[in-house]
Amino acid sequence: MFITFEGPEGSGKTTQVTLLVRDLQDRGYTVFHTREPGGTSIGDQIRDVLHDLKNEQMHPHTEILLYAASRAQLVHQEIRPRLAANEIVICDRYADSTLAYQGYGHGLDLGVLRQILGFATGGLQPDLTLYLDITAEDGLRRRHAAADAGAEWNRMDALSLDFHRRVREGYLRLIAEAPSRWVTIDATGERDTIHAEIRTAVLARLTTPDTLSR
């Protein structure tokens, strides 16, 4: 099963991914946990270029091709082989981030983006996408607080409030187009409540691990 997490800045996705991975491992599942951009040595180098605050002159076309390049490497090197070995793959962001950020955020043509994504991933789609919803204002407030406490503040965080509003609107449209793949969770709740909601949604779609059913 291929599970992805999506959400605007400050949605708490990364914390929730970690909690879910641990929970599933404790239940006996083999889980591969990765993130985008990055997740491979080549992808991590691309991530540094994408997020470097020095690269503020980066053209949106360059940006999409770099996100796609990182994703192509991750899909071919890690995700497809793990899915073929029957592992659960959990990815912190995937192709929907490109549609939300580069498509709705920057206004790039969605049809062109979908073609690039298809080429990069060979058409691999998640089975389930957990969307942690928060407004751009609340999310950026959280990101500012985290950055003040030492967390990364990157080139995408630094884009305007309007950009981040368009990203959230974009996610809501993507969900409306294919609601069966998505589960939306209110990201403003308590950490443990959110985790319980995510766990329930995931367990409802999983079969018992092979190691336990034998």
Q: Whole-angstrom Cα distance, residue 15 to residue 64?
A: 26
**Residue numbers at the binding site for ligand TMP (CB under 6 A):** 9, 36-37, 67, 93, 97-98, 101-102, 156
Judged by beta carbon, residue 73 or residue 102, the one nearer ligand TMP is 102
Q: In whole angstroms, how close is the CB of 212 to ligand TMP at the nearest point?
A: 32
Least CB distance from residue 203 to ligand TMP, whole Å?
Answer: 25
CA dihedral 192, 196, 198, 203 (to 10 degrees): 150
Pick 73 or 98: Cβ nearer ligand TMP: 98
Residue 90 CB, nearest approach to ligand TMP (Å) = 14
Smallest distance, ligand TMP to C-beta of residue 214, A: 37
Can you read off the two tokens belonging to residue 23?
């929970």
In angstroms, give the least distance from the CB of 204 to ligand TMP.
26
Give the residue with the Cβ less far from ligand TMP, 67 or 182.
67
Facing residues of 147 across strands?
Answer: none
SS3 assignment for 46-69: HHHHHHCHHHCCCCHHHHHHHHHH
Burial of 80 (0-12, 13-18, 19+ CB in 10 A): middle
Cβ closer to ligand TMP: 29 or 121? 121
Nearest to 209 by CA among 42, 5, 30, 2: 30
Which of residues 83 and 156 has its CB atom nearest to ligand TMP in the complex?
A: 156
Backbone angles phi, psi at 7, to 5 degrees: 165, 160
